[in-house]
Amino acid sequence: MAKCAFCDANFETGPGDVLLVCSYCGTAQTTDGVKFKDHYMIRVHFDQHEAQTTLVDWISKQLGAPEDLNVGAKFVKYEQVWYPFWISRVDAHTEYQGMGRDANFHNEWPQRRGAYKRIDFYWKPESGAFTRRHEINIAGVKDIDADVRSHPIPTRAKEYFSHAHAEEFDGKVLHSNMTEDQAKKLAHQIAHDRQTNLVLQEVSKIESRNDKIDVGETFLIHVPVWELMYRYGNKKYKASVSAPTGYVIESQYPRSMTFRAGGIGVGLIMLLIGAGLIMLALDVLGLGPILAGGGLVSGGLLAIIGLVLMYKAASSKEAKERV
């Protein structure tokens, strides 16, 4: 529990929450009661009903989804969760010196242009610089699904956080487990790593480097996500849909009976053919050496693919929208 420094209300907090949002007045504050001003949100454009319709439409287009999903799916849980993210603009400039790999080519084959009889690789000193502006996005809660953590956030559409807007949809606004200072430190580290990756595309070994990394504008943004659960047949499936964009972050969905039966059937046939090839290769039937090692390999492969197909057909599917 915490006491709001601005409206005096008591509100719930959990272990590790260090930047709090009062659930009564919506003021973002530190545990010492200092107001945090750079607090933004992305507005909801898909209400619960629209999010569900978008999800069902999307799933219906997936391979093997049952045709009656729009009448057969019953939503049993829906919650709008507002996840906190720290966004930092980081200006980074890296000068580097290192060793790159290069090669000398000798004796081109006359018949094959571009092919050489001898190639000598050698190390060569290289230097250069990279200047980049990174937008670093860090989830403010540890307990967050990996797909929600990495889903695209349209930060350009940000506006100041409105408690009334979150309340309109009964949104659950999560506190952040990370302070502004911690977020900035981490953003600095991530920008440094990204610069390292850029340099390593140019040189294999970094001998020396000089980094100027400047963590600039940093703000907290709450992003609403519909956490949904629906029942189809006797099973339940989970899905996450972005409330601002209707983007399906991830969703489990059922496979239709015909699709499953087809997958299991094809898998079984491949398994049987594979087993047959293996038997021929090993000469189990005593027919003489019809197939050698190649039969063993292709038979084994077919059997494995068959098993995978059967497994895939039998399991429910997890799918994500492509960006």
Residue labelled with tokens 């057969």: 72
Closest by CA position to 136, among listed 237, 215, 68: 215
Task: Please state, in angstroms and as integers, the Cα–Cα distance from residue 246 to each residue in 50, 147, 156, following that order.
Answer: 8, 15, 17
Tell the smallest beta-carbon distance from residue 25 to Zn ion (Å). Answer: 3
**# residues near Zn ion by CB under 5 A:** 6
Binds Zn ion by CB under 5 A, chosen from 3, 7, 109, 189: 7
Contact stretch for Zn ion (CB under 5 A) within 7-15, 184-192, 209-217, 228-236: 7-15
H or E element, residue 20: strand 19-21
Task: Give me the 12-41 binding string for Zn ion, x by CB under 5 A, dash otherwise.
Answer: ----------x-xx----------------
- How would DSSP label each residue in 139-208? ES-SS--HHHHTS---GGG-EE--HHHHHHTT-EEPPBSS-HHHHHHHHHHHHHHHHHHHHHHH-SEEEE
Contact stretch for Zn ion (CB under 5 A) within 3-11, 61-69, 241-249, 288-296: 3-11
- How would DSSP label each residue in 201-230? HH-SEEEEEEEEEEEEEEEEEEEEEEEEEE
Tell the smallest beta-carbon distance from residue 20 to Zn ion (Å). Answer: 9
Comparing CB distances to Zn ion, the nearer of 30 and 62 is 30
Closest by CA position to 243, among listed 26, 59, 80, 77: 80
Tell the smallest beta-carbon distance from residue 143 to Zn ion (Å). Answer: 24
- Grouping H, G, I as helix, E, B as strand and the rest as coil, residue 94 is strand
Comparing CB distances to Zn ion, the nearer of 11 and 75 is 11
Tell the smallest beta-carbon distance from residue 225 to Zn ion (Å). Answer: 24
Please report, as residue ranges, which positions from 290 to 309 form the binding site for Zn ion (by CB under 5 A). Answer: none
Tell the smallest beta-carbon distance from residue 141 to Zn ion (Å). Answer: 20
Residue 277 and residue 290: Cα distance in Å, rounded? Answer: 10
Comparing CB distances to Zn ion, the nearer of 24 and 75 is 24
Contact stretch for Zn ion (CB under 5 A) within 5-13, 84-92, 185-193, 267-275: 5-13
Comparing CB distances to Zn ion, the nearer of 163 and 260 is 163
Tell the smallest beta-carbon distance from residue 221 to Zn ion (Å). Answer: 20
Tell me the H-state helices in the chain.
Answer: 48-60, 69-72, 146-149, 163-168, 180-202, 257-282, 293-314
| 116 is a site residue for Zn ion (CB under 5 A) | no
Tell the smallest beta-carbon distance from residue 178 to Zn ion (Å). Answer: 21
- Would you tell me which residues interact with Zn ion (CB under 5 A)? 4, 6-7, 22, 24-25
